[in-house]
Amino acid sequence: MYRRAAVAVSALGLVLSLLGGRPAAASGFQDLSQVPWAAPAIDLLAGQGAMVGVSAGRFDPEVAISRQEVAVILSRILALGAEASLLPFQDQAEVAPWARVAMAQAVAAGLIKGEGSLLAPDQAVSRAEAAVLLWRLAGSPTPLAAAPPFADQAQIPTWAAPAVSALTALGVVTGLPGHLFQPEAPVSRAAFALMLARVEPDLAAMPGLPRAVAGRVSQWIAPNQSTLAVQSGLAGPAGGVLLASGRVWPLGPGATVWVGGQPADLYALAQGDPVSALLEADGSLGLVIDFGPGGLTPLTVENASMASLFLSDGTVWTVPASLSATLGQVTAPVLPSDLVGAVLAGPPSASAPLRLDQVTLPDLSGLVVRVGQNSLTVAVASSPSPFLTAGTWLVATTPQTAYQGPSGAASDPPPVGSTVSVLATLSGTGQLTAQVVAW
């Protein structure tokens, strides 16, 4: 899940915390009792700063969300910073001052599109529009199985049908009573928060958001299969990796593949092999680590939403109200996001804790107190995982460990006294292994 190519890894911990970290305390909104089904999602997004209230203690959950409100939310989540202009749109003066920059950035990023020469900033976002927007945000995923059609399927516009089908199959979008979708119905602030929280793990596909992904290779993509792959400097004119989720991840021009602890190439990946990788800023894969050989077990948690775990064999497991997991001798309550990149010791069971072989820690941070030949000793002030307490931890380093110092990519570990952020794996025996170290 990690690479040596130069990237702003120092910001990785912040990005991972924003997209997949543990939620902050409750938002303090006083009007969420009317939407108990969305309150956890609203609290999560409010804690991350993605959605805010309309005033102190008030969220207005049942009010329809507007196009310009959505633009501001996307700007906060994605840290959109490109210079952009609204001049081509005839109604650009109608965009509220607090939304002008965000609206321009969302348009420039291709996330929000005008209706001809109009932006219609105050127009409520419809359910069809919300589905398309979130589908783009998630990287236009294609699920392994199609969702059953809605009773009003014929009323869903053709431009929205692929998005509605994909997000319904993935559990991001659900129907209304009578198995209706009602594509033209407006989306409330609460409903949008819930959908955004469900799709949040897939935000890694957006440019500028490096993030770890994990899964199992369904097949490798040869250069002549260009319909499933994109430009890659590693495998000729085209190349990518198809994980068991059904998504093709392209390899970046500087991508490196490791198999069995040794540098290799795309063609060394075998079907069924469990792999981890880190996304480049453009959404392609950087360093790919193959943990082969392949097989039916163990399963990897490839992704997670608030309500589901997406496993590397293509199955989706619904998360119970209270989720716990066992790693080695430790059993602890966990959030679904804690388990992205985890390797399961056995199949999930609704009546027992998940048994894990290892987990990925995206945000282990602390002070380097010792540098060994193949290890770092890091003092951690707060618990980085349900399976680790605060304290001093020995973190092993390997030839695959990537280092990122103040001046960019580094070849040596950080000096004693450095404050570091570490992406690491934690095994059931308590062994911590660093994949990326940034300081």
pLDDT in tens, 280-312: 666 677 778 776 665 444 677 766 666 777 776
Between residues 2 and 274, which one has the greater pLDDT? Answer: 274
Rounded Cα distance between 241 and 215, Å, is: 10
Between residues 422 and 396, which one has the greater pLDDT? Answer: 396
Task: State yes or no: pLDDT of 132 exceeds 60.
Answer: yes
Are the C-beta atoms of 201 and 136 separated by less than 8 Å?
no
Nearest one of 348, 343, 338, 275 to 304, comparing CA atoms? 338
Task: State yes or no: pLDDT of 11 exceeds 60.
Answer: no
Give me the pLDDT at residue 156, please: 95
Give me the pLDDT at residue 64, please: 95
Give me the pLDDT at residue 202, please: 44
Q: Name the band, by pLDDT with cuts 50, 70 and 90, for residue 218.
A: low
Task: State yes or no: pLDDT of 247 exceeds 60.
Answer: no
Task: State yes or no: pLDDT of 23 exceeds 60.
Answer: no
Lowest mean per-residue pLDDT among 7-16, 94-103, 143-152, 182-191? 7-16
Task: State yes or no: pLDDT of 100 exceeds 60.
Answer: yes
Give me the pLDDT at residue 424, please: 82
11-20 mean pLDDT? 26
Give me the pLDDT at residue 19, please: 27
Rounded Cα distance between 168 and 148, Å, is: 9
Lowest mean per-residue pLDDT among 124-133, 140-149, 189-198, 203-212? 203-212
Are the C-beta atoms of 109 and 208 separated by less than 8 Å?
no
The residue count of the chain comes to 439
At 216, which helix (H) or strand (E)? strand 212-221
Taking the whole predicted model, whether its pTM rises above 0.95 is answered as no
Nearest one of 208, 219, 334, 360 to 282, comparing CA atoms? 208
Task: For residue 342, give the amino acid letter.
Answer: A
Burial class for 144, CB neighbours closer than 10 Å (0-12, 13-18, 19+): middle
Give me the pLDDT at residue 340, please: 74
Mean pLDDT of the chain: 75
Lowest mean per-residue pLDDT among 198-202, 256-260, 396-400? 198-202
Give me the pLDDT at residue 312, please: 65
Q: Name the band, by pLDDT with cuts 50, 70 and 90, for residue 115.
A: confident
